[in-house]
Amino acid sequence: MSPNYMKIIAKIPAVKTFDLPTGKFKATLIQIKPLTKQSKKGPQNWIRIVFQVQVDSMADQIPCAGRNFHIDLNPGSDLRNFLEVWLGSEFFKSKSNQDLDFADLIGKNGDICLSHYLGDEYEKPLVIIDNVFPANSLKLEDKPKSLAPVLKK
């Protein structure tokens, strides 16, 4: 390099990826996006929740996993069941008959269980969030022996 030229260096940022391995990992909720889906009954309000997942072997990327839910917090609904596993049933008892601002959950940590769906319609496996548990409640492994959650004793 000629002494007349100044060295210019710029860092290439990590890229967000949704191609993750199966297993149990630490995760943080980083995004909630509103969605509108059409149904036979008309438009429905949905949300997409996105977690940043800590996968040691993917340190050069931003590993993320997302899941869509119909906004229904009635007992037994998919969203309520998902949130109760993560936040606990006391969360809903303490906030009964109140509004839930989903933005308040951003930054909350948990232990996430990921699996794959292999279908003919996909070039690569679709990553599924099976569940999110309270932080530090699972034995985390880079490659679990099974996809079933293992609770710490």
What predicted TM-score, i.e. pTM, was given to this entire model? 0.82
Q: Give the model's pLDDT for residue 125.
A: 87
Q: Give the model's pLDDT for residue 2.
A: 60
Domain ranges of the chain: 16-134
Q: Give the model's pLDDT for residue 153.
A: 38
* Predicted confidence pLDDT, tens digits, the chain (153 residues): 566 788 999 999 999 999 999 999 999 999 999 999 998 989 999 999 999 999 988 989 999 999 999 999 999 999 999 999 999 989 999 999 999 999 999 999 999 999 999 888 878 888 999 999 999 998 876 554 334 343 343
Q: Give the model's pLDDT for residue 67.
A: 97
Q: Give the model's pLDDT for residue 120.
A: 82
Rounded (5°) CA angle 147-151-153: 150
Q: Give the model's pLDDT for residue 119.
A: 82
Q: Give the model's pLDDT for residue 44.
A: 94
Q: By the 8 A CB rule, do 150 and 139 touch? A: yes
Q: Give the model's pLDDT for residue 43.
A: 94
DSSP reduced 3-state for 70? strand
Extract the tokens encoding 2: 């000629």
Q: Give the model's pLDDT for residue 1.
A: 53
Distance CA 28, CA 43 (A): 30
Extract the tokens encoding 67: 């899941």
Q: Give the model's pLDDT for residue 121.
A: 81
